[in-house]
Chain A
Amino acid sequence: MEMDTVIGLEIHAQLNTRTKLFCSCPTEFGAEPNTNICEVCTGQPGALPRMNGLALELAAKAGLALGSRVNESSLFSRKNYFYPDLPNGFQTSQLDPPICEGGSLEISGDSGLPKRVRLNRIHMEDDAGKCVHDERRGITLVDLNRAGTPLIEIVTEPDISSAREAVEFLKKLHGLLVRLGVTRGRMEEGEFRCDVNISLKPKGSATLGVRGEVKNLNSFKFVGQAIDYEIRRQGEIYANGGRVLQETLHFDSQKGETRSLRSKEEAHDYRYFPQPDLPPVRVSRELLERLRGELPESPEEALARLLAMGLKDSQARLLLDRRGALEYFDSAAAYFPRPLRIASVMEELFLPYCQKEGASPLEGPFTPKLMAGLAKLAEEGILGRRKLQELSEGLFKDGLDPEKLVRDQGLAQISDEGELARLAREVVEGCPQEAAKYRAGQEKILSFLVGRMMKLSAGRAEPRKAGELLKAALAGGKEGQGVG
């Protein structure tokens, strides 16, 4: 039986704050165990939480950027369970209402069409500490440095249909949140990690199948592998007439397979209830307006803006897809407001060069200002297509000023008709055999003559005009002789 894959993601992103969610301990990674701790984040008797205002702003900002509704008032709840890395015996999280609801992010779907992945919610919560199992001594050590680190959890609707879509979604989300400064997103440090809910159902069926939840994946690659593994595993169970169990799974990245952590029957009853130590979280209209103002353009808005400038769809998407390309484009266009010319130079020469070198446009020596100069030379016909291509690598690599180069080396394209006509006559005179052949009807020989003319002009002759003027010289040769 053919099956559809249904995937929903829960992404945990560590908010980019210097201090923890409910105390002023640093969130830095890699400190000596149990040094970034205080009475609040170790759950001492009598300690009380106080909300980190920046964490709230970052969470709201993520929501705004993803088109979510940011709730004016949201609530923290206690999520109760026992574990040695959980100092209070509860996690402080948001149940109802969370700070943000709804929203979406567009990816390119497997069908080839754009696809909107809807978000269910974004909520804030604090992270737990870490248990370190010392096998040699047979003991478990607890490090609470991470306890209380601020996170947002972004929950999608089950709108994703494949590993490829999931990975594209995550990469896009990651890029967006990093650009916004919401998270630093260092995945190897666990700052961006993902739980995958995945189920299969008969093709076209409206009823969702039983899902497995793969926990805590901290690389895009593992997400893809875990999904593909689960599709195979669940598919085989169905194929053999078995029942998929609702369970929580761990992905073993060494073996590339998932294994069960606990079944539904063992699931916790978290006994959520409103956290009485924290008043409702307020997001004022003023704060929301300020955050909106700080928000960079959304990809959708940027796309619309570029298309309105007259860029081709493929050019616009290229600028959006390559990291730093849009910012580079915008600042070059500020120096030389001919966006179409800049876009085409970037598309044809600069971005391929950057990709080849693995460099980000903004980080290289060829600044947007230099790009503006180069585009100007192209726009004004001073540098021809060929010359442009020939010079570009050197310019990009060394960050040379193209206008200065053209001046210093006299590289400007010759488009002056008198000058070109003179060169054309010289070529025709120097190649009497070829001229005769052309006149006898061998028109293909013209390209040879154009080549001679380029050589004679050190490549500076504008090729199209060179062809026309050669034709004129060849045609008018006899008259010329008469006159000359």
Chain B
Amino acid sequence: MASDPRLARLDLAQAREGLLKGDFTSAELVGAALDRVAETEPALQACLCVLGDQALRDAARLDAGGPDPAMPLWGVPVSVKDVFLVRGAPTTAGSRMLEGYMPGFEAEVVTRLRAAGAVITAKTNLDEFAMGSSTEFSAFRPTRNPWNLGRVPGGSSGGCAAGVAAFQAAGGFGTDTGGSIRQPAALCGCVGLKPTYGRVSRYGIVAYGSSLDQAGPMARNVRDCARLFAAVAGPDGRDSTSSRVPPEDLSALSPPEAKGLRLALPRELWEGSFDAEVGKVLDSAKGLLASAGISLETVGMPSLRFSVAAYYVIAAAEASTNLARYDGVRYGYRTPSKGDLLSLYRESRTAGLGREARRRILLGTFALSSGYYDAYYRKAAQVRRLIRDEYARTLEEYDFILAPVSSIPAWPFGSFTEDPLTQYQLDVMTLPLNLAGGPGLSLPAGLGGDGLPVGVQIMGPHFREKALLEAGILLEGIFPRLPEPPLKAL
């Protein structure tokens, strides 16, 4: 089947216009996306499961009913990270433990995407159970960065970011526990939104750190992100942590005036050491913003210094018990050897779970153990409150917080796999937002001399995604537009 390669490159707004006008059908658009997947997958390895037949059937069913303008994502191909349960497709969460696991229900996000008319085309690769920032900890294979196939795409939603950047889908959904949407978006040169905690239902998403996990969209521009976000945001009775705050109306977005906009730049995040190319792009980005009339002011947020420590205690503690259900008893990998109960647990979990997952389970188990709880978990919870308060105070004075997303660009495979602490430290830019619970938007600020994209993030008040996205549209217009990623090893 030879589809029009231009179809895959359309953004959501263009695709919608063409679909509603009848220029092409959903089946054609989805077919073009699937062709693009087939063409790029050998290089990228972004998908753990391509829902080819199912997607084409879904598209054909939509076409049979004709375009529905009331459905904001009618006929559009969308990918989801392989932590979202999708009916009829296995959910692995990037783990051997769940290899072949077929869910009996569907994630609320997926249900809402379908209700909005979207067609799910693929389940994308990730670090096992979303634990990692390079997608190298996927139990199946690493995903490659479309800007340089020798580099990681970031993570943990690395498959989603790489796929969206490489036109495999118009948009996708990832999850962000400590930066897992924003960081791969930055490293792959696309836009990613981490919504306010509680804004998007977690029902049917494989949990990592329950008090931090939040699902959000990734796309090639801010407006597409907004469109995807609007389709899934809002209260869900099946997720008790879902907020009852009514969702904002995102149908009309208009960027604010640059003049008068005040951004706070936390010293703790800007004054670290940066890769030279990343530093150059960030400096130039700040220059562009300033010359557009946006006020940039350095502020102190001293509690951010503790965010890496606090995050890894809380996330690991929650993960250690969230992953306790993977015991080989009811589903998932079970050791074939016949021993006693303890060896069933030990062997199944040792073989079924990867190194990083086991490391975080041990870390979290330790932090919650009798005699250590006060020193670790309780302390971390206190730090979290400090960060949250500091975040709120800063946003009383400024419109948004502006920060880098990563101090280094996409790195060569294997750089940190033996040095987890250094890799944890790299998350310093993104973790504070998850601890604070607010929304953040990562968008490309430019390309470094090494040909790798560099991103920045803006963070705003809780449940005010609309203003954040509008500011994102403004910034997107100020920063240079990225070319098409080459999909080559440089």
Question: Among the listed stretches A255-263, A273-281, A326-334, which one makes contact with chain B, having 4 or more residues with CB under 8 Å of it?
Answer: A273-281
Task: Assess whether A46 is in contact with B107, with CB atoms less than 8 Å apart.
Answer: yes
* A134→B449 CA distance, assembly (Å): 68
Mark each residue of chain A from 4 to 47: 1 if its CB lies under 8 Å from any CB of chain B, else 0: 00000000000000000000000000000000000100111111
Task: Tell me the bound Cα distance from A279 to B244 in angstroms.
Answer: 12
Task: Determine the residue in chain B with the shortest Cβ distance to A89.
Answer: B324
- CA A51 – CA B239 in complex, angstroms? 10
B290 to chain A: closest CB distance in Å? 41
In the bound complex, CA of A42 to CA of B341 (Å) = 19
Contact B365 A50 (CB under 8 A): no
B365/A277 in contact, CB under 8 A: no
**B98 vs chain A, min Cβ distance (A):** 7
How far does the alpha carbon of A321 sit from the alpha carbon of B91 in the complex, in Å? 59
* B215-257 contacts to A (CB < 8 Å): 237-241
Judging by beta carbons under 8 Å apart, are B104 and A44 in contact?
A: yes
Q: A46-B103, A279-B240 are in contact. Are A271 and B203 (CB under 8 A)?
A: no
6 A/B residue pairs, CB under 8 Å, sorted by A: A39-B105, A42-B330, A48-B239, A50-B239, A80-B324, A82-B345
Chain B residues closer than 8 Å to A82, beta-carbon distance: 324, 327, 345
**Which residues of chain A come closer than 8 Å to B237, judged between CB atoms?**
50
Q: Which of A260-307 contact B (CB under 8 A)?
A: 269, 271-273, 276-279
Q: What's the interface size class on A, roughly?
A: 20 to 34
Is B368 interfacial (CB 8 A cutoff)? yes
Instruction: Take A84-B341, A271-B368, A277-B241 as given contacts and tell me if A44 and B103 are in contact as well, using a CB distance cutoff of 8 Å.
Output: yes
Alpha-carbon distance between A408 and B270 when the two chains are bound, in angstroms? 104
Chain A 83-101 residues near chain B, CB threshold 8 A = 84, 87-90
- A49 adjacent to chain B (CB < 8 Å): yes
A48 touches B369 (CB 8 A): no
Task: Determine if A46 and B325 form an interchain contact, defined as CB atoms under 8 angstroms apart.
Answer: no
Q: Does A121 contact B (CB under 8 A)?
A: no
Set of chain A residues within 8 Å of B209, measured between Cβ atoms = 276
Contact B330 A87 (CB under 8 A): yes
A142 interface residue per 8 A CB criterion: yes
Interface size class of B (residues with CB under 8 A): 35 or more
Asked if A46 and B203 sit within 8 Å, CB to CB, the answer is yes
Tell me the B82-117 residues at the A interface (CB within 8 Å): 83-85, 91, 93, 98, 101, 103-105, 107
Residues of chain A lying within 8 A (CB to CB) of residue B323: 89
Q: Which 7 A-B pairs have the closest CB atoms?
A: A89-B324, A271-B368, A276-B210, A276-B211, A43-B325, A46-B204, A45-B206
Q: State the main secondary structure of chain A at its contact with B.
A: loop
**Is there a chain A Cβ closer than 8 Å to B295's Cβ?**
no
CA distance A131 to B377 in the complex (A): 33
The A59-101 residues at the B interface (CB cut-off 8 A) are 78, 80, 82, 84, 87-90
Are B330 and A46 neighbours in the complex by a CB distance under 8 Å? no
Q: Which residue of B lies closest to A51 (CB)?
A: B240
CB-based contact A46/B85 at 8 Å: yes
Q: Which B-chain residue is minimally distant from A22 (CB atoms)?
A: B240
Choose one: A44, A50, A142, A271; the contact of B321 (CB below 8 Å).
A271
Q: Which residues of chain B come closer than 8 Å to A84, judged between CB atoms? A: 327, 329, 341
Residues of A within 8 A of B (CB): 39, 42-51, 78, 80, 82, 84, 87-90, 142, 269, 271-273, 276-279
Chain B nearest CB, measured from A134 CB (Å): 15
B273 CB within 8 Å of chain A: no
Interchain nearest-CB distance for A147 vs B (Å): 11
In the bound complex, CA of A276 to CA of B211 (Å): 5
Most chain B beta-carbon contacts within 10 A, residue among A46, A80, A90: A46
Q: Within residues 366 to 380 of chain B, which ones have a CB less than 8 A from any CB in chain A?
A: 368-370, 373, 377
Complex partner residue of A276 from B203, B205, B318, CB under 8 angstroms: B318
- B103: chain A residues at CB < 8 Å are 44-46
Most chain-A CB neighbours within 10 Å: which of B211, B320, B324?
A: B324
Query: Please, which residues of chain B bring their CB within 8 A of the CB of A269?
Result: 369-370
- Contact residue among B93, B329, B370 (Cβ-Cβ distance under 8 Å from A45): B93
B330 in contact with A142 (CB, 8 Å): yes
Q: Most A CB atoms within 10 A — which of B105, B239, B330?
A: B330
**Does B207 interact with chain A (Cβ within 8 Å)?**
yes
Contact B325 A87 (CB under 8 A): yes
Q: A89–B325 contact, CB under 8 A?
A: yes
Q: Is B317 located at the chain interface by the 8 A CB criterion? A: yes
Chain B residues within 8 Å of A88, by CB: 321, 324-325
* Chain A residues positioned under 8 Å from B210 (CB to CB): 276-277
A138's nearest neighbour on chain B, judged by CB, is B338
In the bound complex, do residue B202 and residue A48 qualify as a contact, i.e. CB atoms below 8 Å apart?
yes
Set B84, B239, B330: member contacting A43, Cβ < 8 A: B330
Q: For residue A89, which residues in chain B have a CB less than 8 angstroms away from its CB?
A: 321, 323-325, 327
A273 and B330 contacting across the interface, CB-CB below 8 Å: no
Which of A44, A45, A49, A78 has the most B CB atoms < 10 Å from its CB? A45
> Does the CB pair A49–B240 fall under 8 Å?
yes
A142 to B344, CA, bound (A): 15
Contact, CB under 8 Å: B240 / A271 = no
Which A residues touch B91, using CB under 8 A? 45-46
Q: Is the CB of B368 within 8 A of A273?
A: yes
A273 and B240 within 8 A (CB):
no
Q: In the complex, how many angstroms separate the beta carbon of B197 from the nearest chain A beta carbon?
A: 10
Known: A87-B330, A90-B321, A279-B240. A46 touches B373 (CB 8 A): no
Q: Is A80 a contact partner of B368 (Cβ separation < 8 A)?
A: yes
- Is B341 touching A271 in the complex (CB atoms < 8 A)? no
Indicate if the CB atoms of A273 and B241 lie closer than 8 Å.
no
Q: Which of B240, B329, B330 contacts A278 (CB 8 A)?
A: B240
Residue on A nearest B92 in the bound complex, by CB: A45
Which partner residue on chain B sits nearest A144 by CB separation? B330
- Decide: A45 and B241 in contact? CB cutoff 8 A: no
Q: Considering the chains assembled together, what is the distance between the CA atoms of A269 and B365 in angstroms?
A: 10
B206 cross-chain contacts in A, Cβ below 8 A: 45-46
Residues of B close to A87: CB separation below 8 A: 325, 330
**8 A Cβ contacts from B47-103 to A:** 83-85, 91, 93, 98, 101, 103
CB proximity of B394 to chain A, nearest CB, Å = 25
CA distance A277 to B377 in the complex (A): 17
Chain A nearest CB from B331 CB (Å) reads: 8
Q: How many whole Å from B244's CB to the nearest CB in chain A?
A: 11
Are B324 and A279 within 8 A (Cβ)?
Answer: no
What CA separation (Å) do A47 and B103 show in the bound complex? 10
